[in-house]
Amino acid sequence: AQSVAQPEDQVNVAEGNPLTVKCTYSVSGNPYLFWYVQYPNRGLQFLLKYITGDNLVKGSYGFEAEFNKSQTSFHLKKPSALVSDSALYFCAVRDDSGAGSYQLTFGKGTKLSVIP
């Protein structure tokens, strides 16, 4: 079975500082990994994904994520945080093998607060 862990319920960072939101995963086959952002009272918006190839993936709004196969991690990063980045962030995984390959499994989410 596939699973995702986001070890931090909340991350606080000062505006202008770099930010990291952590994600680790577990799959049987190869992972397809995604990051989504949710603003208050809104649906989830896609940020970026890793499918194959370059381990550093660039996405929307200046975010990027680094895929590390040996550590089974896919951490979200941004060089300089903005107050407007404050939101709930979800990591998600899809396994390319088995019956679970159609399912997109989400972590519990990490609340990011960027302090002015």
Partner 1 sequence: NAGVTQTPKFRVLKTGQSMTLLCAQDMNHEYMYWYRQDPGMGLRLIHYSVGEGTTAKGEVPDGYNVSRLKKQNFLLGLESAAPSQTSVYFCASSYSPSLNTEAFFGQGTRLTVV
| Residue numbers at the binding site for partner 1 (CB under 8 A) | 6, 9, 32, 34, 36, 41-46, 49, 51, 90, 94, 96, 101-109
Residue 36 or 74: which CB sits closer to partner 1?
A: 36
> Any idea which residue has 């799959």 for tokens?
27
The minimum distance between CB 104 and partner 1, in angstroms, equals: 6
Q: What secondary structure letter does DSSP report for 106? A: E
Residue 87 sits at the vertex; the CA angle it makes with 85 and 93, to the nearest 5 degrees, is: 105
The minimum distance between CB 26 and partner 1, in angstroms, equals: 15
The minimum distance between CB 112 and partner 1, in angstroms, equals: 15
Residues facing 21 on adjacent strands: 76
